[in-house]
Structure 1
Amino acid sequence: MRDVRVVYRKFDEKLHWHQWMRFLGEDEYGVWLGAAAGSVSQRGDEPVVTQEQAHVQLFPRGKWFTALFNDEPRYTEIYADITTPVEFSDDVVTMIDLDLDVIKRRDGNVFIDDEDEFAEHQVQYGYPADVIATARETCDWLVEAVSTDEPFLTVYKTYLDKVR
């Protein structure tokens, strides 16, 4: 298995979250990467954050989101970022974070986070109208999908088993 660099940027290309993850495979949903408990991630040049639980991440091809799936007992089960479609190279995946997040808690509660940041950045970065519309549509779809559709129900668990 190979390591892959995950790089989220903001619309102005400024470095956002980034980390190394292990390639786990690809299926009809996209590319799956994983990180064991104790792995590290970093936001921009801020101090490194150590992850207490294992997690896997889905990078769909041609879709406007990525999804992170946390191992138990973490209270956040699924954290989906609305992004531009992922760009893939041999050992790097990159995308632009468009602020909106869909979060599913272990108790089944689903909500949208960072709508205020999305509104601010539309003005600050001059998001084009089609980017705003696609981000919003994707976000609205994910609010339902994380509770009703694969890979959000069981598929991700097979990848999580590989990094535990």
Structure 2
Amino acid sequence: MLHRAWDQTMVLHLSDSVLIGANDNVKVTESDGREWRTREPAICTFGRGQWFNTIAMIRDDGTHYYCNIGSPFSLRNDVLSYIDYDLDVKIYPDLSYVVLDQEEFTLHSQQMNYPAEVTAQVNRAVEEVITWIQEKRGAFQPGFVERWYERFLVMKNR
């Protein structure tokens, strides 16, 4: 069952190593049927084989990031999917961060009997995100979000 589905995201770049997408004011449908629209433009980064993805939300007070810890993504028939393992890292414009939903991950890992390797991968992914934030890698590089947002605006207006 799908937990949450975005109506559309424009693919800005797709290679053997990464998928970069963007969206703005798109419909999101929750598993219970509730729908809502995103409030700000977002640049989404999915690295091949990575156990996390990054959503960079462009707001008036700066770029806020949300990293979902989950299985590596799959792209089939224009549908991107992954297993969300509950843990998230919320990053503020000054690159301070907080790890969210640790209790939920612990509970679900016990209820669903996550294999030890999955639990280890999830924990490694959290550490990897923190390292990337500290080293300003990937979506946390200065200018990364702005560059891809400019490309989104150009492609959107074609």
**TM-score where L is the length of structure 1:** 0.83
Once residues 32 and 144 of structure 1 are traced to their aligned partners in structure 2, the CA distance between those partners, rounded to angstroms, is 20
Correspondences of 1:5-16 after superposition (within 5 Å): 14-16=1-3
Contact 1:55 1:163 (C-alpha < 8 Å) held by counterparts: no
Once residues 45 and 75 of structure 1 are traced to their aligned partners in structure 2, the CA distance between those partners, rounded to angstroms, is 32
Which structure has more strand as a fraction of its residues?
1
Return 5+ residue gaps in structure 1 as ranges.
Answer: 1-13
Contact 1:53 1:74 (C-alpha < 8 Å) held by counterparts: no
Q: For 2:124, give the aligned amino acid.
A: E
Contact 1:63 1:85 (C-alpha < 8 Å) held by counterparts: yes
Identity of aligned residues (%): 22
The SS at the match of 1:15 is coil
Return 5+ residue gaps in structure 2 as ranges.
Answer: 154-158
- Using the TM superposition, give the Cα deviation of residue 29 of structure 1 relative to its aligned residue in structure 2, in angstroms: 5.2
Change in 2 beyond 3 A, CA 1:71/1:28: farther
Per-residue CA deviation, residues 66-96 of structure 1 (Å, 9 max, x unaligned), is 1101112267611010111111124111100
Structural RMSD (CA): 1.9
Q: Does 2:11 correspond to 1:23?
A: yes
Q: Across the two proteins, how many residue pairs are aligned to each other?
A: 150
Contact 1:41 1:50 (C-alpha < 8 Å) held by counterparts: yes
Higher relative contact order (CA 8 A, sep 6+): 1
Partner residue of 1:140 out of 108, 122, 127: 127
Contact 1:64 1:85 (C-alpha < 8 Å) held by counterparts: yes
Partner residue of 1:122 out of 109, 112, 123: 109
Which structure has more helix as a fraction of its residues?
2
- Using the TM superposition, give the Cα deviation of residue 50 of structure 1 relative to its aligned residue in structure 2, in angstroms: 1.1
Partner residue of 2:82 out of 92, 95, 107: 95
Once residues 163 and 47 of structure 1 are traced to their aligned partners in structure 2, the CA distance between those partners, rounded to angstroms, is 27
Contact 1:65 1:85 (C-alpha < 8 Å) held by counterparts: yes
Partner residue of 1:34 out of 22, 31, 42: 22
Q: For 1:66, give the aligned amino acid.
A: N
